[in-house]
Structure 1
Amino acid sequence: MWALRRASASIRKQGLNTGSIRICFATSELSNRCFEEFDTGINTITPVVSDRCLSVNRFYRMGHSAPMSFKGSCGFSSQAAGTRSSGEEDDKLDGIPELESPTASGSIQDGNANNDNGLVSEPEHIDEDSDDEGAEGSQSELGDTMTRISQKRPPYSEIVKAIFAALPLSVSSVMDKWVEEGKELTRADIKMAMLGLRKMRMYVVALKLSEWLKSSKHIDFTDRDYASQVDLIAKVYGLRNAEALVQKLPKSFRSEVVYRTLLANCVSVFDVNKSEEVFKKMKDLKLPISCFTCNQLLLLYKRTDKKKIADVLLLMEKENVKPNRSTYKILMDAKGESSDITGMEQVFETMKAEGIKPDIRTKGSLARHYISGGLQEKAEAVLKEMETDDVAGNSLAYTILLPLYAAIGKADEVRRIWQLCESNPRLSHYEAAIEAWGKLKKVDEAEAVFDMMLNKYQNLSSKRYSALLNVYANNNMLGKGMELVKQMTENGCHIGPLTWDSIIRLYIQAGEVEKAESVLNKAAKHARVKPMFRSYIVIMDQYAKSGDIHNTEKVFHWMRQAGFASLFRLYQALIRAYMNAKAPAYGMNERMKADKVFPNKELAAMLSQVDPFRKTAVSEILE
């Protein structure tokens, strides 16, 4: 682990280490020491871990050159707090258990079908035509899902088919009938059904199924079953209700897997205070600390407070927690996002030296950071190396390669890769191709791919439409974007958070912030699923940019009401509004202290500029 902490030194030199560490790990040695911060991320995959723990001393001695000046930004992996890349989403859910036997892996993955750990077997296209963005809504919103299921490839859960076929009957009614008819209902059947519902993000339905299983006593609930329920409740009803369930559980069921599941959901909304509280509880209960748990903390501090990451790394060393492939990928991302390309390459080489083979997602991350650092030749070399891997047998490769080749302006390579999968593309390939052509400003090509997808799949979800909507938004094509939204509604698509986000960005790009706000306001009031974090923050940033304090404060208030916990990011935008308005921000320090938001060096500098009592050269003379 010393290897990981040593890597933090170069980031500290870039001015990210400010203030004192305010985390208590329930061990005096950790809570009393301040270490250099390191920007890392999250655990995804349980698998390949070297028998040798990462050599702390050896990595600490690795040379770190001063950060170079690169063109461009680190936008490929550094997203606004509250958003997740697909990889991060996979990472968050790995380790959250599903209803399965105690001998099973206990790990599932949600989101896209980018699993590479082999721990679960999911239908390849289980979410192809499902509404990923709005599945938390009522059963009536599932619409013609049953019709679309017939297009899926086997295996597909018979239980899920029965639930959809019986709509609008309740889940409990369907399951009661299932048992009355004498149909088999094993843990394997339940696991497949729950995985399918999670894949389609139908968390309400999955929760109803879980509640029926518990009330009917068809299976004896284990701690893993309760952990699955905690996760679903957090997604449907929020953290407070999930925490309440944990507190009501008998002590024998309040296990590590239950608490780490609660922790993962706290981290997913970047609630620092609640995450630290849950982790401290785990330490107080003397629960084992897993790599998944540590990487959850790394993700949290990667987004909120980098100076605390060294504490996590020390904890991993003390607890003898071995880093896995995802840990190294996290460290690479941290270095890349900080423009420390040399440090990123050293982490990559250390991973290989520890016997962990980089997968295609890790190599893709390496290429992304090269691109964001302006190192096109290095990026292209990595992409070519990725192609020498078993690309034909790894459909994920096409999904990664298409937008990356577009990012370096290689239209010919995008066309070549698309032709490789064009004969039998998956939906992820269509989306990647649409994104790639959009990056290249070739809107006609993106539309052509979308039309191909629409012709092949008659009942596309709104998530698939959003791929083209994003192209229109990024290319400031409001008219075409609204035409596509109209087409979606005519085709019976459920309009959910992803679609709202695209519409909002369409209006923002067109300079119509008020209309974007109107869409957000209506979505927040009338939808069953709240809008995305970035939908709020993009409007808030626009108001802050123009120095509109009133409207910035208004959106800030909305986000607090909606339960978003990324307060550091919110205060950053809010203070910028006061700066641009050249107005004093009375009581801002007190507000931040009340919310337990502690400024880093950058935010402290911003605060000083809006401090109504700050002294200037003129004020000192006048005194």
Structure 2
Amino acid sequence: MWALRRASIPLRSQGFSIRTSRACCAKLEIPSSCIEEDKAGVLESPQEAYDRWLYLKRFYHTEHASSKFSVGRCSFSSQAGAKSSGEEDDLEDGFSELETTSGVQANQDSNGADESDDELISGPELSDEDVEEPSQNELELSDIETDPIEKKSSRRAQSELFKAIMAAPGLSIHTALDKWLEEGHDLSRAEISLAMLNLRKRRMYGRALQLSEWLEAKKQLDFVERDYASRLDLISKVRGLQRAESYIEKIPKSFRGEVIYRTLLANCVADNNVKKAEVVFNKMKDLDFPITSFSCNQLLLLYKRLDKKKIADVLLLMEKESVKPTLFTYKILIDTKGQSNDITGMDQIVETMKAEGIEPDINTLAIIARHYASGGLTEKAEAVLKEMEGDNLKDRFACRLLLPLYAQLGKADDVRRVWKICESNPWLEECMAAIEAWGRLKKIEEAEAVFDIMSKMGKKLSSKHYSVLLKVYASQKMLTKGKDLIKRMGESGCRIGPLTWDALVKLYVEAGEVEKADSILHKATQQNQMRPMFSSFMAIMEQYAKRGDIHNAEKMFHRMRQSGYVARLRQFQTLIQAYINAKAPAYGIRERMKADNIFPNKTLAAQLAQVDAFRRTAMSDLLD
């Protein structure tokens, strides 16, 4: 049994604090800790507390009524539980597996999407395993922009206004919109909403913002709160959080409701900005907005990526405010447990979810199967995959999830079986999944055959589709084939964006040409307004660190900062490793970490000891 001690661990932020119970638990990487209460007796062990707490049940008892349990204004601060967790492998994870919709149409509609020049992506970067699909934030904003009836009809419709916007030459669409208006075309809210939805599906946020600004300037739409929220979201994605915050002041006070601040919070989370997210959350508390599952899920998602120790604070807040966990809440907890290799704990969360009447959807099952496979539990993974398949694999949406999962298990026959179901009339997303699966199985010819099928489907391929095969070549160090594919992309007129840059960088890094990868990324950053992915910078920085090349490692660290990426534990770990490999002291590194609010875990503390210029050893003591 763990010893339980009482202490005060306030979460300070903006003058407010949370006073509540905290239980210690190593399994979910919640800080070792304590319980604070006002004259309340804790009547159960820490392990019992954790078991009940993790599964979102009450984990404390008081001798008297709940009024004896004093809770102040709840707020979160980046200082609270600030020590980062020991596992940072998921830091570049955009978490798209937890943010997907069970519908297929969103994928089909966006199959022909391209990485346009005006897509100034400032949302979360995508990791190697990510699938580019609407996030929970994006889906919520689609609900804001589109009425339910409109949204239902829009699933298979494509806006004429959207087609006119897509046909507009150059980056500005104002001329095309003026012409549309002069010709007397429909500019109803339904048509506008449909155009916005199509632009968002294709991540064409620059054009969507221009449309929103034009509508207001031409007084073609009476703006309501959802329109202002949509504009705020687009400004954040295109121009950054600071400009988005400034825009809020321009919104009429009567429309500055919970939806506005919730939208800003979601974008802070998308940008992995812990400080701003916590400030916005506290602002919502100050304005007496209700605490919703959406806002809590955003914090859980953020802390899952960057500071798992704070997850307990959010869960306790949800319980105290009677905020019911949603399917998305459970997905985050399931994935967090899986990444911590706590399969037993993951299974218990799944059981609790079902006990609460929430059945796992197909994406949740995919997450569970992936963690079983990673943990070597092949039989359990296969059982989940069979559950996903159902009877004769009637749900085609499952195919794109099943293909890479069977490949992860090394089941080439099952990959081939599932692909045959799709092969006669494949969707682009299924082709991409099949290419990834064959690549993982090192069956390059099969991956190339699927790519040929995809290229002959009559739809223009985007850089997203080319990047899948490019990553396969990178993983197999097939530089020549990668270069040929890049030439093919150029000949097809395909526009290149962050996804392609990332694949290119990894292609050259795997081939040992780190300087070339660095040069490509540098040119891409200078020539385009789009921000490279976090993983692109890290792939190069890690190679410099292995070489002990301090100068270039520091250069990459600085360039990431210039690109707007907030400092993370993993960046400092990589940078310090460069100093270790160079056998050089890192002067002032602790102060730099402190300035960025980064606190070392055990691994990083050991690294810091090795680069401490003033550390004393047995030999130095003898010489002194």
Corresponding residue of 1:126: 109
Q: Residue deviations 1:537-576, cap 9 Å, x none?
A: 1101111122111110010011111111143222121112
Corresponding residue of 2:555: 554
CA contact (8 A) 1:301 1:308 kept: yes
CA distance in 1, matches of 2:267, 2:477: 35
Q: CA deviation at 1:601?
A: 3.0
**For 2:456, what is the secondary structure of its paired residue?**
helix
Q: CA deviation at 1:79?
A: 5.3
CA distance in 1, matches of 2:478, 2:171: 42
Which structure would you say has the larger RCO, counting Cα contacts within 8 Å and 6 or more residues apart? 1
Corresponding residue of 2:220: 218
Supply the AA of the counterpart residue of 1:446: A
CA contact (8 A) 1:35 1:310 kept: no
CA distance in 1, matches of 2:15, 2:21: 10
CA contact (8 A) 1:160 1:196 kept: yes
Match 2:101 to one of 82, 91, 115: 115
Match 1:284 to one of 268, 283, 286: 286
With over 3 angstroms needed to count, the CA separation of the structure-2 counterparts of 1:266 and 1:169, relative to structure 1, is closer
Q: Identify the range of structure 1 (478-487 vs 274-283) with the bigger mean alpha-carbon deviation.
A: 274-283
Q: CA deviation at 1:154?
A: 4.5
With over 3 angstroms needed to count, the CA separation of the structure-2 counterparts of 1:301 and 1:386, relative to structure 1, is same
Supply the AA of the counterpart residue of 2:530: V
Corresponding residue of 2:354: 352
Corresponding residue of 1:334: 336
CA contact (8 A) 1:82 1:268 kept: no
Q: Identify the range of structure 1 (204-213 vs 575-584) with the bigger mean alpha-carbon deviation.
A: 575-584
Q: CA deviation at 1:343?
A: 0.1
Corresponding residue of 2:313: 311
CA contact (8 A) 1:24 1:30 kept: no
CA contact (8 A) 1:39 1:334 kept: no
Q: Residue deviations 1:41-88, cap 9 Å, x none?
A: xxxxxxxxxxxx996447899xxxxxxxxxxxxxxx985424414334
Q: CA deviation at 1:599?
A: 2.2
Supply the AA of the counterpart residue of 1:218: Q
CA contact (8 A) 2:561 2:567 kept: no
With over 3 angstroms needed to count, the CA separation of the structure-2 counterparts of 1:486 and 1:253, relative to structure 1, is same
Supply the AA of the counterpart residue of 1:197: L
Q: CA deviation at 1:24?
A: 3.5
CA distance in 1, matches of 2:446, 2:88: 28
CA distance in 2, matches of 1:414, 1:555: 39
CA distance in 2, matches of 1:414, 1:191: 39
Q: Residue deviations 1:199-222, cap 9 Å, x none?
A: 111111100001112222222212
Q: CA deviation at 1:605?
A: 2.6
Match 1:29 to one of 13, 18, 29: 18
CA contact (8 A) 1:25 1:283 kept: no
Match 1:191 to one of 190, 193, 196: 193
Percentage identity across paired residues of the two chains:
57
With over 3 angstroms needed to count, the CA separation of the structure-2 counterparts of 1:437 and 1:607, relative to structure 1, is same
Q: Residue deviations 1:309-337, cap 9 Å, x none?
A: 11111111111111111111111101110
Q: CA deviation at 1:124?
A: 5.4
CA distance in 2, matches of 1:566, 1:369: 28
CA distance in 1, matches of 2:483, 2:20: 53
Give runs of aligned pairs for residues 456-535 of structure 1, distance below 5 A.
456-535=457-536
Corresponding residue of 1:261: 263
CA contact (8 A) 1:26 1:284 kept: no
Corresponding residue of 1:136: 119
Corresponding residue of 1:180: 182
Q: Identify the range of structure 1 (612-621 vs 24-33) with the bigger mean alpha-carbon deviation.
A: 24-33
With over 3 angstroms needed to count, the CA separation of the structure-2 counterparts of 1:533 and 1:20, relative to structure 1, is farther
Q: CA deviation at 1:20?
A: 7.5
Corresponding residue of 2:39: none
Give runs of aligned pairs for residues 429-448 of structure 1, distance below 5 A.
429-448=430-449
Match 2:94 to one of 79, 84, 95: 84
CA distance in 2, matches of 1:31, 1:59: 11
Supply the AA of the counterpart residue of 2:108: H
Supply the AA of the counterpart residue of 1:591: R
Q: CA deviation at 1:249?
A: 2.5
> Aligned residues, how many?
541
Q: Identify the range of structure 1 (541-550 vs 356-365) with the bigger mean alpha-carbon deviation.
A: 541-550
TM-score by length of 1: 0.81
With over 3 angstroms needed to count, the CA separation of the structure-2 counterparts of 1:55 and 1:345, relative to structure 1, is closer
Q: Identify the range of structure 1 (162-171 vs 369-378) with the bigger mean alpha-carbon deviation.
A: 162-171
With over 3 angstroms needed to count, the CA separation of the structure-2 counterparts of 1:562 and 1:311, relative to structure 1, is same
Residue 273 of structure 2 is aligned to residue 271 of structure 1: yes
Give runs of aligned pairs for residues 377-416 of structure 1, distance below 5 A.
377-388=379-390, 391-392=393-394, 394-416=395-417
Q: CA deviation at 1:36?
A: 4.9
Corresponding residue of 2:419: 418
Corresponding residue of 1:171: 173
CA distance in 1, matches of 2:489, 2:324: 48
With over 3 angstroms needed to count, the CA separation of the structure-2 counterparts of 1:31 and 1:270, relative to structure 1, is farther
CA distance in 2, matches of 1:456, 1:21: 59
**For 1:125, what is the secondary structure of its paired residue?**
helix
Q: Residue deviations 1:427-482, cap 9 Å, x none?
A: 00000000000000000000000001111135211111111101101111011000
TM-score by length of 2: 0.81
CA contact (8 A) 1:223 1:254 kept: yes
CA distance in 2, matches of 1:59, 1:487: 60
CA distance in 1, matches of 2:226, 2:449: 46
With over 3 angstroms needed to count, the CA separation of the structure-2 counterparts of 1:55 and 1:522, relative to structure 1, is closer
CA contact (8 A) 2:439 2:472 kept: yes
**For 1:167, what is the secondary structure of its paired residue?**
coil
Give runs of aligned pairs for residues 35-46 of structure 1, distance below 5 A.
36=25, 38=28
**For 2:335, what is the secondary structure of its paired residue?**
helix
CA contact (8 A) 2:107 2:429 kept: no
Q: CA deviation at 1:608?
A: 2.3
**For 1:484, what is the secondary structure of its paired residue?**
helix
Corresponding residue of 1:452: 453
CA contact (8 A) 1:543 1:549 kept: yes
With over 3 angstroms needed to count, the CA separation of the structure-2 counterparts of 1:134 and 1:379, relative to structure 1, is farther
CA distance in 1, matches of 2:551, 2:54: 51
CA distance in 2, matches of 1:331, 1:25: 28
Supply the AA of the counterpart residue of 2:213: E
Corresponding residue of 1:200: 202
With over 3 angstroms needed to count, the CA separation of the structure-2 counterparts of 1:57 and 1:495, relative to structure 1, is closer
CA distance in 2, matches of 1:354, 1:260: 26
CA contact (8 A) 2:403 2:418 kept: yes
With over 3 angstroms needed to count, the CA separation of the structure-2 counterparts of 1:297 and 1:26, relative to structure 1, is farther
CA contact (8 A) 2:498 2:530 kept: yes
CA distance in 1, matches of 2:55, 2:381: 28
Q: CA deviation at 1:483?
A: 0.4
CA contact (8 A) 2:609 2:615 kept: yes
